Amino acid sequence: MNRVIHGVPKETMEYMIRLFSPTMDDYLYVLDLKEDYYMISPQAVERFRLPGDHFYHARGTHRTFVYAEDLKILWDDIDKICAGQAENHNLDYRWLDHQGNPVWINCRGLVLHEADGTPKYLIGCINEIGKKQKADNVSGLMGEGGLWQYAKECPDRLPAGFIIRLGIDDLSVVNGSMGMNYGDYLLKETANCIQRAMEPGQKLFRLVSDQFIITDLTGRSVSDARLLYNRIRYEIACWIETHQYQTVFTISAGIIDTKDRMNDYDQILKFLEFALNEAKREGKNECYLFQKEDYHAWVHRQKLRKQLLHAVNNGFCGFEIYYQPIMHTREHSLVSAEALMRFFVPADPDADGDETGVARELVMISPAEFIPILEESGLIIPVGRWLVRTAAGVCKEWQKEHPGMRVQVNLSYVQVAKTDVLRDVREVLNETGLSPECLGVELTESGYLESGTHFQKVWQGLKNLGVKVLLDDFGTGYSNFHCLGDLTPDGIKIDRSFTQRALTDAYEYNLLTQMIWMSRRLNIQVCIEGIETMEELERIAELKPDFIQGYLFSRPVSSAEFTDSFIKRLEGEHGNA
């Protein structure tokens, strides 16, 4: 049945919208179908890219704030209403916010007709489908919508106090083993534990998933925040004990001091998320107080991670391989070169070089800084393959002037664990034509060395190929002597830190002596790293290791410089002979 409206002007409609809008979170609207005129709740203008809360030329103007792909479905539906084929409007589609981001809305409306039966108005309500709810029915707390509203009511400069972001550790494990319903029950009980620990003036909100927010703007300090966190842990421990350890879980916390801090909702949540992640990274069941210096360091790591990803996706631009000579202990003759990864970034990322075509200034990032990021992100896999292939190709070129020249490359434990290293090495040897015995593989330890079945298979497979396998960083504390017997490497490399201790401490020197003697009995070659002076060389040479590596002979240098300083020099020496 048609809903008939008699002589109600659009000004009256506009007045009614303005009258009721302050009482609603959603947006009332009226579309005058005959005059192509649109009016909507004034607060919608603050949220969306609307030219105003009322305007003519509605069809054309909608193009400025409706997501382009959704315009057709919108006006197809409106055309049906204008043609008398529909009496209701109910459509999910997207509007644009002021940043141009699409926001899903639900638009509902009823058609009002004039006395002659022609459609006059489409009147209804718009709400955001994905809008965060003010309250959370699982925990019984106000949700993120409520937190946002609370933040809006706070002064621009926050008073002294603190905000805590709490996160249940490994709730997904509980959901996986006990079910989602039990997980919801646990969330509610956790909220109860938190509330029992809180003091007057503190507010609690359920943020997302397994996280909560506590605000305290009463002048208390971060020391009080830590005490509150400890009380929460105690309440949780008591709950676990009362329920006979049916579920054992912990909670972590990130804390931010609000004194002299501006009321920037998005920034504060971002800082709190960082703080909570730091607490979890430190082992969970911990609290972490936000430190600006730590956050800036984290931002720097994220920027470096993006630069590394860009380099990998653009032909490994910015990566270079430097080479450090490995010398025979007695003759001080060149035996091999260790290939070491280097990474360079522009000193000024925004500079494009000067008008003469001079390239931008580059700065080198420390391997200690970028290699852990490569390993954490998995980018070490393509970069490691590139390093092995490039170093093997360079070594093959060097052999034209220096037959028998060898190269040694580092393999990350991530590569060994997650890729088919044997296939990769075999392909490199086939592509470059380098003899297997001229390639040495050093295992780079990422925190520990584990003689698992997969590791041993790779290790033995490399030896079967004829590739030399070496234990790197021996003596740093990760490696165990049983590895020498279990793995029977072709060589070990004594880390510089151990070398320096041996040069200054009699006990360490004797330990190094026994290590070299034992390796010789096992037919394992020994390379001493970190030799920088002639005095160090003479002292270490008394122990008769096989090879020496260090700044005394050369720092790691580029391929071109290594060629000039070592390969061509050898060629000249052979020519003079």
Q: Which comes out higher in pLDDT, residue 355 or 456?
A: 456
On the question of pLDDT at 449 being above 70, the answer is: no
Q: Are 553 and 533 in contact (CB under 8 A)?
A: no
In this prediction, residue 144 carries a pLDDT of 86
Rounded to 10°, the helix 222-242/180-197 angle is 130
Identify the pLDDT of residue 448. Answer: 42
Task: Answer yes or no: are the C-beta atoms of 552 and 532 closer than 8 Å.
Answer: yes
Contacts of 56 (CB under 8 A, 6+ apart): 35, 36, 37, 38
> Judging by beta carbons within 10 Å of its beta carbon (0-12, 13-18, 19+), is residue 474 exposed, middle or buried?
buried
Chain centroid to Cα 327, Å, comes to 40
Q: How far is CA 387 from CA 3, 133, 285, 378, 564, in A?
A: 75, 51, 40, 15, 21
Average pLDDT over residues 329-342: 94
Strands 362-365 and 406-412: unpaired
Residue 576: the pLDDT is: 42
| Model confidence at 548: pLDDT above 60 | yes
Instruction: Please check the confidence at residue 11 and state whether its pLDDT lies above 60.
Output: yes
Q: Is 334 left (phi over 0), alpha (psi -120 to 50) or beta?
A: beta
Judged against a pLDDT cut of 90, whether residue 22 lies above it is answered with: no
Q: pLDDT by residue (tens digit) across 57-74? A: 999 999 999 999 999 999
Rounded (10°) angle between helices 421-432 and 380-398: 30
What whole-number distance in Å separates Cα of residue 480 and Cα of residue 12? 86
* Separation between Cα atoms, residue 107 and residue 127, nearest integer Å: 7
**Alpha helical stretches, state H, 243-324:** 265-281, 292-312
Q: Which two tokens stand for residue 255?
A: 């804390």
Please tell me the predicted confidence (pLDDT) of residue 176.
Answer: 80
Question: Phi/psi zone of residue 76: left (φ > 0), alpha (ψ -120 to 50 degrees), beta?
Answer: alpha
Res. 183 pLDDT band, cuts 50 70 90: confident
pLDDT value of position 560: 95
Cα separation, 392 vs 388, whole angstroms: 6
CA atoms within 13 A on the CB side of 415: 28
Q: Which residues pair with 56 in a beta bridge?
A: 37
Report d(CA 324, CA 182) in Å as an integer: 59
pLDDT at 571 exceeding the cut of 60: no
Asked if residue 433 has pLDDT above 50, the reply is yes
Per-residue pLDDT reduced to its tens digit, 207-261: 877 899 999 999 999 999 999 999 999 999 999 999 998 889 999 999 999 999 9
- pLDDT above 90: residue 292: yes
**For residue 261, what are the CA distances in angstroms to 153, 163, 339?**
15, 11, 49
Average pLDDT over residues 392-408: 94
CB atoms within 10 A of CB 391: 26
Give the confidence band of 489 by pLDDT, cuts at 50, 70, 90.
Answer: confident
Residue 450, pLDDT score? 53
Q: Across the strands, what pairs with 409?
A: 339, 441
**Beta-strand pair 319-328/547-549:** antiparallel
Whole-number percent of the chain with pLDDT over 70? 91
Q: How confident is the model at residue 577 (pLDDT cuts 50, 70, 90)?
A: very low
Q: Delineate the domains of the chain, giving CATH numbers in brackets.
A: 3-128 (3.30.450.20), 135-290 (3.30.70.270), 320-345+360-576 (3.20.20.450)
d(CA 405, CA 438): 7
DSSP string for residues in 486-499:
HH--SEEEE-HHHH
- 299 pLDDT higher than 60: yes
pTM of the model: 0.73
- What is the residue whose two structure tokens read 């391929």? 559
Half-sphere exposure of 28 toward its Cβ, with a 13 Å CA cutoff? 14
Q: What is the pLDDT of residue 16?
A: 82
Question: Which residue do the tokens 């000039």 mark?
Answer: 564
pLDDT of res. 444: 58
142 pLDDT tier (thresholds 50, 70, 90): confident
Tell me the two tokens of residue 406: 């060898």
Report the distance separating Cα 540 and Cα 554, nearest Å.
17
User: What tokens appear for 196 in the block?
Assistant: 């029992």
Q: What does the block give as tokens for 37?
A: 């005129």
Whether residue 482 is predicted with pLDDT greater than 70 in this model: the reply is: no
The mean predicted confidence, pLDDT, of the chain is 89
* pLDDT attached to residue 270: 95
Chain segment 345-367, per-residue pLDDT in tens: 998 766 555 555 555 688 999 99
Question: Measured between alpha carbons, how far is residue 318 from residues 344, 345, 350, 365, 404 in Å?
Answer: 5, 6, 16, 10, 30
Per-residue pLDDT, 220: 96
- H helices of 282-348, in order, are 292-312
Per DSSP, the three-state class of 342 is strand
Measure the CA angle with vertex 321, ends 533 and 570; round to 5°: 60
- State the average pLDDT over residues 136-145: 80
Structure tokens at 259: 């004194």
How far apart CA 276 and CA 165 sit, in angstroms, is 6
The 10 Å Cβ neighbour count of residue 8 is 13
Residue-level pLDDT at 573: 53
Quick one: pLDDT at residue 425? 96
Lowest mean pLDDT among 288-302, 374-388, 439-453: 439-453
Distance in angstroms (rounded) separating the CA atoms of residues 441 and 413: 12
Q: With 60 as the cut, is the pLDDT of residue 423 above it? A: yes
- Report yes or no: 55 and 14 within 8 Å, Cβ to Cβ: no
Between CA 117 and CA 109 the distance in angstroms is: 18
Q: How confident is the model at residue 447 (pLDDT cuts 50, 70, 90)?
A: very low
Which band of pLDDT confidence, cut at 50, 70 and 90, is reported for residue 575? very low
Q: How confident is the model at residue 131 (pLDDT cuts 50, 70, 90)?
A: confident
* Amino acid 208: pLDDT: 79
